[in-house]
């Protein structure tokens, strides 16, 4: 057994996006580091978690359940998922000791066999564990797991989807199957891989990959701003091409890796010159410029895949001392800076109110002339101060003006423009349009109820749309 790795904290931003169509006793679900599919998510979900820890556990699956939609995951399956999470969170065990338990959990969720009926959905499982910046994956059935690194997709397990050994730019990728280990029965294993900042781990069902294809998946990952954007774009595009089929994807982006005994420092935004998910200047993920193409050394050995542990290296050569970490920032300086900002804000607000009162006065903008005007007149004979009373006309005007008259004079006339009632809208179907996208565009809500409302209004029962088709949008 390999030695324990150097303790490391990994910050992962993970998003699960799905379209569910439960039926025939097969229910899809996800497990997002302790968060399980809920009852309200039996049709769709879009959840994001961003946290830092030594261990993580994510899984996407479909399993047989006799409990129905009211209980999507049986208690037995739930206990198996919780057991893996507890093991991963324990600091005494490394990822080597957890890979077999993850395989047993996959069998517990998806079952040992598969359905034989033609066109029947089959249970599947795809799960990944992260411990001390090391990654391991297990898949069964139609479950898939990939590592997106340097604009290329690397399968973590041997699935039956043929990928071209090229990256997004069409450049060749060497050692594309470097992370695939083997198969034991119906369970597919991965090697243990060392994570790097800006990596993205993809967990999904087979239909997502086969519907879009490798080239389209790479394009969407390259152009996405973050992992949430990538997951949403992929599911939307796949559902549009294959409506009515359950699909889900979990995208996990590695934001940073640091030693657990070194305090974290908030990282500043460092933009790359080009690219998308891991290199676009306007993106949220990229923190360093990426190489032009994914390159793996020609001499690929098992040792290069296995984790490099701190005990196997000199203290000065550990990967955790090569730029993953930054100097700690004083907590007191942040508090002082926050207090300074609060003081500046208070002074600014006070100055604004003072200027407002000086200009408009305390009576809402009515300036009343002073009761007495003092004039100082200097004559040749004597220096006298002459006090003159205000003119009676001004005083009389103020007294005779009633509050009702003042209100009537200052109240603006109501405009004749009023909001017109909502009317029916005609939408012309374009390439890539779906009922979900149309519902979000006009109602801001992509729920099934909103989609059904549009279908019923047009007398449509199918999910298919034709280019140039006219869709009537009901009034809101």
Q: What is the three-state SS of the chain?
A: CCCCCCCEEEEEEEEEEEECCCECCEEEEEEECCEECCHHHCCEEEEEEEEEECEEEEEEEEEECCCCHHHCCCHHHHHHHHHHHHHHHCCCCCHHHCHHHHHHHHHHHHCCCCCCCCCCCCCEEEEEEEECCEEEEEEECCEEEEEEECCEEEECCCCCCCCCCECCCCCECCCCCCCEEEEECCEEEECCEECCCCCEEEEEEHHHHHHHCHHHHHHHHHHCCCHHHHHHHHHHHHHHHCCCCCEEEEEEEEEEEEECCCCCCCCCCCCCCCCCCCCCCCCCCCCCCCCCCCCCCCCCCHHHHCCCCHHHCCHHHCHHHCCCCCCCCCHHHHHHHHHHHHHHHHHHHHHHHHHHHHHHCCCCCCCCCCCCEEEEEECCCCEEEEEECCCHHHHHHHHHCCHHHHHHHHCCCCCCCCCCCCCCEEEECCCCCCHHHHHHHHHCCCCHHHHHHHHHHHCCCCCCCCCCCEEEECCC
What is the maximum span of the chain, computed from C-alpha positions, in angstroms?
123
Mention every residue, 6+ apart, whose C-beta is less than 8 A from residue 28. 18, 20, 22, 37, 60, 61, 62, 205, 246, 248
CA quadruple 253, 256, 261, 266: dihedral, nearest 10: -120
Q: Residue 105 corresponds to which tokens in the numbers above?
A: 């959990």
The pLDDT of residue 384 = 39
Which residue in 28, 32, 31 sits closest to 42, CA to CA?
28
The pLDDT of residue 206 = 94
Check if the beta carbon of residue 143 is closer than 8 Å to that of residue 158: no
Which residue in 263, 124, 132 sits closest to 187, CA to CA?
124
Separation between Cα atoms, residue 395 and residue 371, nearest integer Å:
9
The pLDDT of residue 233 = 96
Chunk the chain into consecutive blocks of 10 residues (it has 476) and report each block's average pLDDT, rounded to whole numbers. 70 96 82 89 90 95 68 75 90 80 90 58 92 95 95 94 94 94 93 95 96 96 95 95 94 93 50 45 41 40 39 39 41 78 92 87 48 40 42 41 41 38 80 85 85 88 85 86
Residues linked to residue 55 through DSSP beta bridges, in sequence order: 131
Tokens 């280990």 belong to: 181
Sheet of strand 152-155: strand arrangement: 44-53, 8-19, 247-259, 200-205, 143-149, 152-155
The pLDDT of residue 50 = 95
What domains appear along the chain, each with residue ranges and CATH number? 8-321 (3.60.40.10), 331-401 (no CATH), 425-473 (3.10.350.10)
Tokens 């002339």 belong to: 369
């Amino acid at each position: 057994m390999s030695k324990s790795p150097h303790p490391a904290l990994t910050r992962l931003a993970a998003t699960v996006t799905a379209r569910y169509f439960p039926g025939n006793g097969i229910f899809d679900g996800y497990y997002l580091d302790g968060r399980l599919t809920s009852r309200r998510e039996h049709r769709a979900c879009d959840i994001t978690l961003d946290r830092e820890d030594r261990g993580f556990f994510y899984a996407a699956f479909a399993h047989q359940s006799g409990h129905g939609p009211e209980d999507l995951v049986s208690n037995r399956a739930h206990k198996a998922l919780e057991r893996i999470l507890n093991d991963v969170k324990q600091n005494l065990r490394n990822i080597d000791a957890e890979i077999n338990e993850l395989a047993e959990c996959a069998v517990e969720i998806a079952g040992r066999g598969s359905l034989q009926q033609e066109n029947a959905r089959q249970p599947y499982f795809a799960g990944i564990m992260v411990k001390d910046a090391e990654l391991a994956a297990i898949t069964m059935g139609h479950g898939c797991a990939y590592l997106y690194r340097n604009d290329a997709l690397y399968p973590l397990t041997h699935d039956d989807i043929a990928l071209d050994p090229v990256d997004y730019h069409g450049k060749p990728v060497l050692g594309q199957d470097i992370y695939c280990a083997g198969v034991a029965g119906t369970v597919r294993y991965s090697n243990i891989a060392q994570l790097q900042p800006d990596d993205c781990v993809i967990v999904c069902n087979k239909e997502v990959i086969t519907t879009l294809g490798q080239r389209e998946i790479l394009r969407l990952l390259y152009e996405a701003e973050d992992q949430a954007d990538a997951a949403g774009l992929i599911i939307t595009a796949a559902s549009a091409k294959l409506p009515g089929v359950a699909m889900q994807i979990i995208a996990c982006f590695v934001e940073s890796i640091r030693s657990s005994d070194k305090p974290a420092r908030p990282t500043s935004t460092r933009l790359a010159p080009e690219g998308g998910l891991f290199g676009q200047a306007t993106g949220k993920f990229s923190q360093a410029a990426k190489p032009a193409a994914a390159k793996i050394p020609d001499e690929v050995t098992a040792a290069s895949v296995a984790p490099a542990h701190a005990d196997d290296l000199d203290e000065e050569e550990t990967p955790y001392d090569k730029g993953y970490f930054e100097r700690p920032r004083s907590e007191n300086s942040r508090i002082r800076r926050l207090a300074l900002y609060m003081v500046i804000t208070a002074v600014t607000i006070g100055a604004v109110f003072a200027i407002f009162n000086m200009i408009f006065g305390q009576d809402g903008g009515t300036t009343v002339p002073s009761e007495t005007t003092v004039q100082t007149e200097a004559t040749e004979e004597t220096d006298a101060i002459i006090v003159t009373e205000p003119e009676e006309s001004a005083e009389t005007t103020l007294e005779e003006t009633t509050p009702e008259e003042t209100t009537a004079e200052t109240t603006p006339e109501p405009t004749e423009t009023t909001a017109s009632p909502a009317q029916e809208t005609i939408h012309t179907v374009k390439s890539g349009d779906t009922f979900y996208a149309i519902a979000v565009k006009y109602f801001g809500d992509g729920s099934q109820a909103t989609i059904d409302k549009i279908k019923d209004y047009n007398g449509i029962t199918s999910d298919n749309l034709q280019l140039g088709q006219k869709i009537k949008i009901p009034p809101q």
